[in-house]
Amino acid sequence: MKLLNDKKQFEKALAIFDQHAYANVRDLQRGKIIHNLIASETKNGIYVSSTLIHMYAQCADIASAQSLFDSTKNKTSSMYRIMMK
């Protein structure tokens, strides 16, 4: 069971790393693919949600960033900063 949890944590960390990379190169298409793969994580993970909001904002897809921001229940200060940029 621990191995399964470790694998899930690794995959989550990798997805976050990928999202940061796609945000930095402004690769919206690949970012959306990763978002679809980790969609279930965005419901519970504020770090994943924050990273996705950042990726969408960096790629100038403000509508998607706003939609994800609005659907996030526990917003963090970093999410607000991203949306204010």
pLDDT digits (tens, 9 = 90+) for 40-74: 655 657 877 888 888 889 888 999 999 999 998 88
Number of domains in the chain: 1
The model's pTM: 0.64
Contact 23, 31 (CB under 8 A): yes
Closest Cα to residue 63, out of 12, 71, 24? Answer: 71
Domain extent, residue 73, equals 2-84
Per-residue tokens: 52: 């996705």
